[in-house]
A and B are shown apart, each in its own frame.
Chain A
Amino acid sequence: MRSGLAWAAVAVAVLALALAPLGLGRYDVYILTLWLVTAVAALGVNLIVGYAGQETLAQAAFLGIGAYTSALLAKAGVPFGLAFFAAGGISFAIGLAIGFPALRVQKHYLAFVTLAFSVFVWLVIRNEEWLTGGVMGLKDIERPSLFGASLRPHRLFFWFVLAIAAALTFAMWWLVRSPWGRAFTALRENPVRAESLGVNVRRYTLLAFAIGSAYGGFAGALYAPLVEFIDPAPFALGPSLLFLLMVVVGGSGSFAGPFVGAAVAVLLPEWLRFAESYYLLIYAALVILMMAFCPTGLVGLAGRLWSLRRRPARMAEDEGARALGEAKP
């Protein structure tokens, strides 16, 4: 019954998203697409940080690896489908390698290792001009076509991204509900006990990093054709920190968290446009307040408000039932 309701809610949400561009302008559709792409990358961070209890400050680097891989392959005439999986595959392999330090160091030490990797990738993108175009970036990245029809129109491209994001979201949902997801949670809660129960902690740690990073790569492969021009800036350390923040703000370890966090990160700058340069100040203040009063993120906050709203109702029902009981002869 409850899972039936949940599925219905998901179907309604996807349908509403699919219909949304019909009533929106070009720029709004762009923002909505950017939100989906950002959420895919944040889903990966949530797997690594929220479920498996590791640290990563390198998701923007993986977004960059995916974006440059797909853009360069597209320019070489490789079809988008192949470029997309190449972007994910390369990120998976590099993510696996990034996981190895996690077998030796933990918490903030691990964060520093991924931070160093993030800076390294950014420097490569900026300095290897023969490959990446350096600070000039890569221009005129073509949007893919499907069955011979170009996805250049913004609405068509949005639906394309929506379909891929939905598939990736379903895959992530399947993953975290599978025995693998249980093993990832065990990793977060007590790796020593998990190991003693036959859980191969090394393998699962590496897999969490590899899969989470692959989501960064997939998001990058969608990001490049969305913006049609890439340069090193969005793949620097700052945006990597922002990805971690999205997961924390949305609700680390909750499945919907990355979507909420990505919405805040993408939409808030739009809403706070009037505040101009004060935008970051306001954003920072909101994050500090939330961390102080609701460390479980916005999803956790929503859950708390929901139970607050329901409790008085249930109490009233109980009162009513008691009154009825007393009224019986």
Chain B
Amino acid sequence: MSAVLEVRGIEKQFGGLRAVDGVSFDVRQGEIVGLIGPNGSGKSTLFNCILGQFEPTAGEVMLDGCRVTGLRPSQLNRLGVGRTFQLLQVFPRLTVRENLILAGQEHQGSMLGRLFGARDAGLSAEAERTIEFFRLAHLADARAGGLSYGQQKLLDVAMAFMAGPRLVLLDEPAGGVNLTMLADLRERLETVNRERGATFVVIEHNMEFVMALCSRILVLAEGRIIAEGKPHEVRRNPKVIEAYLGH
């Protein structure tokens, strides 16, 4: 199948520090790719370069074969790229439903159409479906700031799916989520992948979670990809073991 995302020689320099040092990889339609590596290996910086948060020092990002390097995050999002951040990022003073409508509204109609059109931007039904799908129904009208950490995390992920993205980059979705909810989250992600054909790239430290979820794993260390392959291959790779355990 064709590559949804192509990353070509991405570099990111922060002063004297080269956080990402020439990373290239492809993600094909419908894949769930894991991105792992020790702390400080450049995973989140790489995400931020791909998603327009940072401007890469060198390299290119292609979406469906089109160059998207240098586009702003909102433009990339409107091209169908969703994301979550490492730290929890919901809008605490909006309700769960409002958070979801916000996550989809900029994909509906024009600026002026949104000003004079319906208050929900025609997204109430879609928000309801998403709320059901992520099992947040009993919390629909609660303020996001009042939810438990795990519930907020679920909402955070749900928001990334509101606009029906083709590609979603998740930065540590399992961080700080309890075991029951973790299984739930994995199952939801697998369902979206199966039913909507959504493609994922997932940064994760929880090895059990990432190995079970992903079909392919990339291992990053000191800004470079040091290994790539199926979960069981990567797990036995001596370079990977060395990177994690140190010299």
CA of A182 to CA of B100, assembled, Å: 11
Q: How many pairs, one residue from A and one from B, have CB atoms within 8 Å of each other in the complex?
A: 82
Bound-state CA distance A219–B161 (Å) is: 43
Contact status A199-B74, CB under 8 Å: yes
Within 8 Å of chain A (Cβ to Cβ): is B239? no
Q: CB-CB < 8 A to A150: which residues of B?
A: none
**B74: min CB distance to chain A, Å:** 5
Contact residues in A for B77 (Cβ distance below 8 Å): 195-198
| Contact assessment for A197 and B103 in the assembled complex, using a CB-CB cutoff below 8 Å | yes
- In the complex, are the beta carbons of A182 and B94 less than 8 A apart? yes
CB within 8 Å for A189 and B91 given contacts A178-B114, A198-B78, A200-B74: yes
In the bound assembly, the distance between CA atoms of A201 and B78 in angstroms comes to 13
Assess whether A183 is in contact with B102, with CB atoms less than 8 Å apart: yes
Cβ-based interface call for B49 (8 A):
no
Choose from A177, A185, A193, A199 the contact partner of B106 (Cβ within 8 Å). A199
Which residue in chain A gives the minimum CB-CB distance to B120?
A: A179
A198-B74 CB under 8 A given contacts A182-B101, A183-B102, A193-B85: yes
| Cα of A120 to Cα of B139 in the assembled complex, Å | 50
Residues 183-233 of A contacting B (Cβ, < 8 Å) = 183, 185-186, 189-190, 192-203
**In this complex, what residue of A is CB-closest to B116?**
A178
Chain A residues near B17: list those with CB within 8 A. Answer: none
Q: Given the known inter-chain contacts A197-B103, A197-B106, A197-B159, please indicate yes or no for A182 contacting B98, CB distance below 8 A.
A: yes
Q: Does B163 contact A (CB under 8 A)?
A: yes
For A182, the closest partner residue in chain B by CB is B102
CB distance from A215 to the nearest CB of B (A): 16
Q: Chain B nearest CB: distance from A52 CB in Å?
A: 13
Distance between A280 CB and nearest chain B CB, rounded to angstroms: 34
Q: Is B146 an interface residue (CB 8 A)?
A: no
Return the contact of A192 from the options B82, B89, B102, B114 (Cβ within 8 A).
Answer: B89
A195 touches B72 (CB 8 A): yes
Pair A196/B121 contact, Cβ less than 8 Å: no
Contact B101 A203, beta carbon cutoff 8 Å: no
Q: Is B111 an interface residue (CB 8 A)?
A: yes
Q: Which residues 76-128 of B have a CB within 8 angstroms of A?
A: 77-78, 82-83, 85, 89-94, 98, 101-103, 105-108, 111, 114-117, 119, 121
Query: Beyond A198-B74, A198-B77, is A178–B159 a contact (Cβ under 8 Å)?
Result: no
CB atoms of A185 and B91 under 8 A apart: yes
User: Is the C-beta of A117 less than 8 angstroms from some C-beta in chain B?
Assistant: no
The answer to whether A279 has its CB under 8 Å from any CB of chain B is: no
Does A175 interact with chain B (Cβ within 8 Å)? yes
CA distance A328 to B219 in the complex (A): 69
B interface residue count range (under 10 / 10 to 19 / 20 to 34 / 35 or more): 20 to 34
B51 within 8 A of A: yes
Query: Does B197 count as interface, using CB distance less than 8 angstroms?
Result: no
Min Cβ gap B156→A in Å is: 9
Residue B70 interfacial (CB < 8 Å): no
Which B residues lie within 8 Å of A197 (CB)?
A: 74, 77, 102-103, 106, 159, 162-163
* Structural contact, B91 and A186, CB atoms closer than 8 A: yes
Contact across chains for A186 and B89 when beta carbons are under 8 A apart = no
Cβ B89 vs Cβ A180 within 8 A: no
Of A177, A185, A197, A200, which is in contact with the most chain B CB atoms at under 10 Å from its CB?
A197
Point out the residues of chain A lying under 8 angstroms from B116, CB to CB: 178
Q: A182-B98, A199-B106 are in contact. Are A193 and B114 (CB under 8 A)?
A: no
Cα distance A185–B105 in the bound complex, in angstroms: 13
A182 and B89 in contact (CB under 8 A), knowing A198-B74, A199-B74? no
Q: Chain B contacts of A196 at CB under 8 A?
A: 51, 53, 73-74, 77, 82-83, 85, 89
Instruction: Enumerate 16 A-B pairs (CB-CB under 8 Å) in ascending A order.
Output: A178-B117, A179-B115, A182-B101, A185-B93, A194-B102, A196-B51, A196-B74, A197-B74, A197-B77, A197-B102, A197-B103, A197-B162, A198-B77, A198-B106, A199-B102, A201-B74
Q: A179-B105, A182-B98, A189-B93 are in contact. List 15 more A-B contacts (CB 8 A).
A: A178-B114, A179-B102, A179-B108, A179-B117, A179-B119, A182-B94, A186-B102, A189-B94, A192-B53, A193-B91, A195-B72, A196-B74, A196-B82, A197-B162, A198-B77
Interface residues of A (CB under 8 A from B): 175, 177-180, 182-183, 185-186, 189-190, 192-203
**B residues in contact (CB < 8 Å) with A:** 51, 53, 72-74, 77-78, 82-83, 85, 89-94, 98, 101-103, 105-108, 111, 114-117, 119, 121, 159, 162-163
Nearest 5 interchain pairs by C-beta: A198-B106, A198-B77, A193-B89, A179-B114, A179-B105
